[in-house]
Structure 1
Amino acid sequence: MPGHQLAPDIPAPDEVLASERAHLATSRAALKDMREHAASLSADAAGDWVSQQVLQGLLDQRVAALADHPDTPLFFGRLNRSAIDDLPDTIYVGRRHVHDDNSRALVIDWRAPVSRAFYQASPADPMGVALRRRFGYQGGSLTAYEDEPLDGRELGQSKLLTEEIERPRTGPMRDIVATIQPDQDEIVRSDLGVTVCVQGAPGTGKTAVGLHRAAYLLFTHRERLSRSGVMIVGPNRAFLSYISSVLPALGEVKVDQTTVTGILGDHAHPEDPAVAAVKGDARMAAVLKRALWLHVAKPEEGVLFTKGVNRYRVADYEVREIVASLRGTTRYGPGRTALAQRLANAVLIQMERRGESPDDRVQDAVARSRPVKQVLDAVWPKLTPEQVLFRLLSDAEFLAHAAKTDLSPDEQETLIWRKPYRSYKSARWTAADGALLDELGDLIERTASHGHVVVDEAQDLSAMQLRALGRRCRNGSATILGDLAQGTTPWSAQSWKAVLDHLGQPSGEVTELTLGFRVPREVLDYAARLLPSVAPELAAPRSLRPGAGSLSVRPTADVVTEIVQAVRPALAQPGSIGVIVADSGVLDVSAALTVDGVEHGVLGPDSTGDHRLLVIPATLAKGLEYDHVIVAEPADIVAAEERGLARLYVVLTRAVTSLTVVHQKDLPAELAE
């Protein structure tokens, strides 16, 4: 229903709705025509086969980007403009641009500069807008509208905006283009050349902001980013499944979405957290660099190349001079290649002095010859990251030589394998080893860079993992998302400045989102009792939603039985349900639900979480949200890991509508007050 009235002679609400629904129908028909036209185009006009394949790929992407989602609003806002310029007086703001057969814009993409006023205009600064209209939808049907005149009158809280934010959720995460707030919009529209680090309290929409920034940059810098690419990095596959629908709904179908494990390799061998903490320390970068270059030996012999009856000799001192000039000035792999060419060139110089006329083919043949290869293998051997790391972790003397004073004797002792593997091929690498192998890989051959990288839950990454991600955006920029209060790893970040330094983006801008829209205030205030213990330097988050009655804390003599009883009323309400328990209790809770006949799923690292009711290990809850959350035995969640209180803070802030805490053991002191 409409809000403020501009004048007594404006159309009746029913007339306005009928007109807007007609525009929606016209826009959907035009989008269908645009898609059919794109599908009718042929790549046969391109010259060769390769060009045809490239063009066909682009056309397929265009068709996919123009897909209409019937249950998703095509436009969600309208601006009646008062500015005098070449732009239309009335603009509909939506998820993508739509035009008719006469190229008349029916819907303007939310990322277009003119659409910025939909998010930023206010009575104090109307930005050339006289009236902003918001639309309410049920599925894909337009059901309501609300007018906000920007004539200086104070605006109240938008009812439609509040309803959209609070709408129950099932399935994957939705986009927030209709509800982006001014402070979020500033981050979304940050320039491509700027790396932005967002400290976001639970429910502030930091993940959505990062995804929408990626969509905005792809729209604004399409040509550049189509070459260099955009990559989204999440904490696990379950999280990626949760966010997988956001960018396609915004028309962006070609964005790499992966995890740190997906980048560094699925090295799942378990490891003592104390060992992993040393491996994740930034000091390991210097240790690895020395370990690699220690493989370059001092030449003891020269090169003797024979061609027919002629013999050409490069003296050992000349070889040493060439090696010294190359060492440390290039990456290891190109350096080895350059050494072969420099030795071959030294031979060619002698050939020329004898009156011969060797060309590039002769030099390449000399560089590949056995005498040169023998010197290469002895002085600058070909190496893989696995070979170097294997030697470092299995040879205490070599580790001491590489570590120098960067690692203490105790730390070196911690790193050495207690039961050495037979060879690097049989080694069982850990997740922390993955970052070390990636560092060595970059020292050997340069890692390719993306144009932009979005990293979520960055507070949980080690310095070496951050360095690995930094290499992926060394020629571009990044959006870093996280919450220092939600750090749950032994190496969790203590400051965003340190994170940006490790990423190689020291000039990045740090901004903070503290105003929550999704988590009810009653729930957020309860969880915030833990903040003085897990992140005392952070301000307590605030929520716009009072959420009276959203929190229930239930002591019980039988936790599993109480969970089953709490699930029943939650199932009677709309929305998704997450039962979050310590990892060790997942099977017991799932079995109890099965015995009681309650259909549910169990969230795993690679599962999609399609069920409305999910049993969730506490270690996988980060970044996810559910309408109704039931948390079982907080004491067990806290006791399961070193930063258990931080894990509990994460778990308690996953609720959008209601939180039920079930416990038999004493609650942590911070919550028992």
Structure 2
Amino acid sequence: MPVSAASPPDPHVPHPVGQPSEYSSGNETLAAERVHMQRARDDLRAMRERTLALNAQGGDAVSTEYLKASLNRRAKSLEDDPALPLFFGRIDRLRHDTGESDTGATTGDTEAATETFHIGRRHVMDQAGDPVVIDWRADVSRAFYQASRRDPQDVVTRRRFGFADGELTSYEDEHPLDPDEPDVTSQILTAEIERPRVGPMRDIVATIQPEQDDVVRLTLDHSVCVQGAPGTGKTAVGLHRAAYLLHTYRNRLARQGVLVIGPNRAFLHYIAQVLPTLGEVDVRQMTMPELTATVPVRREDASDAAVLKGDARMAEVVRRAIWSHVAEPAESLLVPRGSRTWRVPAYEVSEAIEVLRTRGEGYATGRALLSQRLAHRVLLRIEASGEITDDRVQNAVARSRPVKAYVDGLWPALDAERVVMRLLGDAEFLANAADGVLDDTEQQLIRWDRPARGPKSAPWSHADAVLVDEAQSVIERASGVGHVVLDEAQDLSPMELRAVGRRAAGGSMTVLGDIAQGTTPWATPAWPEALGHLGQQNVHLEVLRKGYRVPAAVVEFAARLLPSIAPGVEPPQPVRSNPGVLDIVEISASELGKSVAAAVRDVTARVGSAGVIAADATLADVARWLTDDGIAFGQMEDDEALTLVPASLAKGLEYDHVVVVEPARIVAAELHGLRRLYVVLTRAVSTLTVVHTDPLPAPLS
């Protein structure tokens, strides 16, 4: 790409950030930028050393420990990774200053100059507090991602840097303000997008595209749902949005926190380093079972039972089961105080209970308020008798033994685990709670075979744990977090979505997924339905259409499945220059093991990561074939160059080279087998090899 020329500066003196810039060409320019990179590293190290040198001494022991933890997190966020450059781009923008004379008087002339900003993963400043690198999330950095011929945003020059092992190796300059410069695809940008993937997921700050940047920079008050086909970068967009919000709304989110929910531990391991790389270390990441880990899960439900337990109707059944414990008063409340006994008639107690039940408060809150409501009625009678009272008298009456015993009889304290245990183990209790909601057959389907003796020994499943979480929310509402990032949302049941939505109570969400990749029996058919269960209204739906990771050959092959699995979903539009490689190998059953080993040897000889994906039941055979052939491989969390992956856990992962074994067996293994196969095929970033004996599924034939 063209490089602008000017009188060459001293290559050993970096251009100051925010100062008018001059460009040289060739090695002098690159040398000057390398000097600036080293300066940034020195300044970042000094920032960390200053943080570590601070005296963590608070007003008391608790404050001191809190301050130490805060400083340690700050120091961790300032750690430098020598394998990554501190900046990956630079913009020179027009600066419009009002000219002033030497005496400070305005001359009336407007001077147009340029100011330079190096854009990087985090903010770096020098000893004087002046910026050396601008955080990619800062407002001024947006022009680096958004400037174009149509909207140059005053960017005279946008410079992209090539890098390897943390060292700058090349650069390209673009001139959005120059109408005569032709549009040229950035070779550095293309190379970075198509760079082989080894190990965990990387950040994409150097390659964020304008449509992705629009989603990332939505304000905290806005929830967004991102529908994205494989390779469109939806997961990366969600993580970078979390990083952007933590930077922009630091004070609000420091109190409330950010939560990332992923489909499984392997996926979270894969994405774990993205946020720390961006300097954000205070983000919780968990799976759905971890989120609802209220009881010890010991078994899996049959598919039809799990679907029913995950049905939104179960929320009403649980609610009825909780509130059925509130009884109607049969007698008046009698409160002895001093020489007199005060009476609150049963009809007044009934009125108080009805008001509290219809307020929409939690069960436990209503129970606590009932004591105060009854004590207040006693207080009114005491005052009517001529005695002087105050709030202390009311609180004393509310805590008195007669009031507490009376409330316990009408509105008992409840334990969520025991309520759900009774609901699933007591046919009569379930019938009363599910009357008009579930029919007799459905009630029989979700009931346990025998009543449990206690919560610790009960035959809990994951779906049961979600019901316990629902029951706990009815009893006592917990506070939510400031923002939730939910990935692979299409796979969650309505009850699971409700559990996630409660964590975002009062906050916003970033919902990520692909309807075509819904593989669970309860997968959501459409986003409006899922968003309704999440309790999110007026959500912005963003559809990412450009595929940056999956090559055209793989997209075209996998897209043959879309008419069967998701008729309304369009395949991604591949933008990679490399069309990828697709190889279909059909062999006899006796040659399957040797052919799989040969295919694996072929892909492991290439640059990049490799994954062998097979149906879960076939995985042991594949492992044996590879071992017999002397091929070393790793499991899901080993970060090896070659990984053996069960089809059920492939979602969200990606490998440069993928070998898929027996697609027909992947399809036959589960209800939505074609959708699972679509997921598996689209894990390939460069090459896809399909080895099979059984005939390919009809849409692929």
Q: Same fold (TM over 0.5)?
A: yes
Indicate yes or no: 2:647 matched with 1:618: yes
Range with bigger deviation, 401-410 or 25-34: 401-410
Task: Describe the superposition over 1:65-118 as per-residue Cα deviations: whole angstroms up to 9, x where unpaired.
Answer: 111100011100011212425997111100011111222211111011111111
Task: Describe the superposition over 1:408-444 as per-residue Cα deviations: whole angstroms up to 9, x where unpaired.
Answer: 3332332222333334443222222222211211111
Range with bigger deviation, 302-311 or 540-549: 302-311
Q: Indicate which of 273, 294, 302 corresponds to 1:272.
A: 302
Equivalent residue, structure 2, for 1:140: 166
Q: Indicate which of 57, 72, 78 corresponds to 1:60.
A: 72
Q: Indicate which of 391, 395, 398 corresponds to 2:426.
A: 395
Q: Indicate which of 72, 78, 85 corresponds to 2:84.
A: 72
Aligned residues: 665
Letter of the 1:260 counterpart? M
Equivalent residue, structure 2, for 1:98: 124
Cα–Cα, structure 1 residues 320 and 6, in superposed 2: closer, same or farther, change >3 Å? Answer: same
Equivalent residue, structure 2, for 1:600: 633
The DSSP-based 3-state class of the residue aligned with 1:130 is: strand
Equivalent residue, structure 1, for 2:104: none
Name the CA distance, whole Å, in 2 between partners of 1:37 and 1:549.
49
Equivalent residue, structure 1, for 2:16: none
Range with bigger deviation, 584-593 or 310-319: 310-319
Indicate yes or no: 2:612 matched with 1:579: yes
Name the CA distance, whole Å, in 1 between partners of 2:503 and 2:561.
35
Cα–Cα, structure 1 residues 85 and 246, in superposed 2: closer, same or farther, change >3 Å? Answer: farther
* 1:312-461 equivalence runs, <5 A: 312-329=342-359, 330-352=361-383, 360=391, 362-461=393-492
1:345 to partner: Cα distance: 3.3
1:359 to partner: Cα distance: 5.5
* 1:278-297 equivalence runs, <5 A: 278-297=308-327
Name the CA distance, whole Å, in 1 between partners of 2:593 and 2:340.
87
Residue pair 1:123, 1:154 contacting (<8 A) in 2 also: no
Name the CA distance, whole Å, in 2 between partners of 1:434 and 1:510.
30
Task: Describe the superposition over 1:1-60 as per-residue Cα deviations: whole angstroms up to 9, x where unpaired.
Answer: xx213358763311111111111111111111111111111122x333333233222222
Residue pair 2:224, 2:510 contacting (<8 A) in 1 also: yes
Name the CA distance, whole Å, in 2 between partners of 1:510 and 1:548.
29
Name the CA distance, whole Å, in 1 between partners of 2:253 and 2:697.
48
1:358 to partner: Cα distance: 5.7
Name the CA distance, whole Å, in 2 between partners of 1:547 and 1:373.
74
Residue pair 1:522, 1:546 contacting (<8 A) in 2 also: no
Name the CA distance, whole Å, in 1 between partners of 2:442 and 2:364.
30
Name the CA distance, whole Å, in 2 between partners of 1:548 and 1:210.
27
* 1:478-517 equivalence runs, <5 A: 478-517=509-548
Name the CA distance, whole Å, in 1 between partners of 2:25 and 2:640.
43
Q: Indicate which of 167, 177, 188 corresponds to 2:195.
A: 167
Indicate yes or no: 2:585 matched with 1:559: no
Equivalent residue, structure 1, for 2:56: 43
Cα–Cα, structure 1 residues 31 and 160, in superposed 2: closer, same or farther, change >3 Å? Answer: same
Equivalent residue, structure 1, for 2:19: none
Task: Describe the superposition over 1:258-306 as per-residue Cα deviations: whole angstroms up to 9, x where unpaired.
Answer: 1111111163521011111112122222222122111111112333334
Indicate yes or no: 2:225 matched with 1:197: yes
Name the CA distance, whole Å, in 1 between partners of 2:548 and 2:528.
27
Range with bigger deviation, 88-97 or 3-12: 3-12
Letter of the 2:280 counterpart? E
1:628 to partner: Cα distance: 1.1
The DSSP-based 3-state class of the residue aligned with 2:358 is: coil
Cα–Cα, structure 1 residues 549 and 218, in superposed 2: closer, same or farther, change >3 Å? Answer: closer
Indicate yes or no: 2:493 matched with 1:462: yes
Letter of the 1:230 counterpart? V
Indicate yes or no: 2:664 matched with 1:664: no
TM-score normalised by the chain length of structure 1: 0.95
The DSSP-based 3-state class of the residue aligned with 1:519 is: coil
Cα–Cα, structure 1 residues 203 and 85, in superposed 2: closer, same or farther, change >3 Å? Answer: farther
Q: Indicate which of 457, 469, 473 corresponds to 2:504.
A: 473
Range with bigger deviation, 64-73 or 356-365: 356-365
1:592 to partner: Cα distance: 2.7
Task: Describe the superposition over 1:498-556 as per-residue Cα deviations: whole angstroms up to 9, x where unpaired.
Answer: 11111111200101011111111101111111001110001122211254451111112
Equivalent residue, structure 1, for 2:332: 302
Residue pair 2:662, 2:691 contacting (<8 A) in 1 also: yes
1:576 to partner: Cα distance: 1.3
Residue pair 2:554, 2:580 contacting (<8 A) in 1 also: no
Indicate yes or no: 2:17 matched with 1:17: no
Residue pair 1:197, 1:479 contacting (<8 A) in 2 also: yes
Unaligned runs of 5+ in 1: none
Equivalent residue, structure 2, for 1:530: 561
Range with bigger deviation, 421-430 or 175-184: 421-430
Name the CA distance, whole Å, in 1 between partners of 2:287 and 2:89.
35
Residue pair 1:559, 1:633 contacting (<8 A) in 2 also: no
Letter of the 1:92 counterpart? H
Range with bigger deviation, 76-85 or 352-361: 352-361
1:487 to partner: Cα distance: 0.1
Range with bigger deviation, 444-453 or 639-648: 444-453
Equivalent residue, structure 1, for 2:101: none
Residue pair 1:98, 1:108 contacting (<8 A) in 2 also: yes
Residue pair 1:578, 1:615 contacting (<8 A) in 2 also: yes
Name the CA distance, whole Å, in 1 between partners of 2:287 and 2:437.
30
Residue pair 1:83, 1:129 contacting (<8 A) in 2 also: no
Name the CA distance, whole Å, in 2 between partners of 1:161 and 1:546.
11
Equivalent residue, structure 1, for 2:17: none
Range with bigger deviation, 151-160 or 299-308: 299-308
Name the CA distance, whole Å, in 1 between partners of 2:642 and 2:391.
68
Letter of the 1:612 counterpart? A
Name the CA distance, whole Å, in 1 between partners of 2:553 and 2:134.
38
Equivalent residue, structure 2, for 1:84: 96
Name the CA distance, whole Å, in 1 between partners of 2:225 and 2:394.
50
Task: Describe the superposition over 1:233-275 as per-residue Cα deviations: whole angstroms up to 9, x where unpaired.
Answer: 1111111111110001101111111111111116352101111
The DSSP-based 3-state class of the residue aligned with 1:530 is: helix
Name the CA distance, whole Å, in 2 between partners of 1:529 and 1:106.
50
Name the CA distance, whole Å, in 2 between partners of 1:195 and 1:540.
25
Indicate yes or no: 2:622 matched with 1:589: yes
Equivalent residue, structure 1, for 2:248: 220
The DSSP-based 3-state class of the residue aligned with 1:602 is: coil
Letter of the 1:21 counterpart? R
Name the CA distance, whole Å, in 2 between partners of 1:139 and 1:24.
13
Cα–Cα, structure 1 residues 143 and 288, in superposed 2: closer, same or farther, change >3 Å? Answer: same
Identical aligned residues as a percent: 53
Equivalent residue, structure 2, for 1:4: 2
1:363 to partner: Cα distance: 4.1
Name the CA distance, whole Å, in 2 between partners of 1:94 and 1:7.
24
Residue pair 1:172, 1:244 contacting (<8 A) in 2 also: yes
Name the CA distance, whole Å, in 1 between partners of 2:347 and 2:38.
81
Range with bigger deviation, 544-553 or 514-523: 544-553
Range with bigger deviation, 504-513 or 416-425: 416-425
Residue pair 2:94, 2:114 contacting (<8 A) in 1 also: no
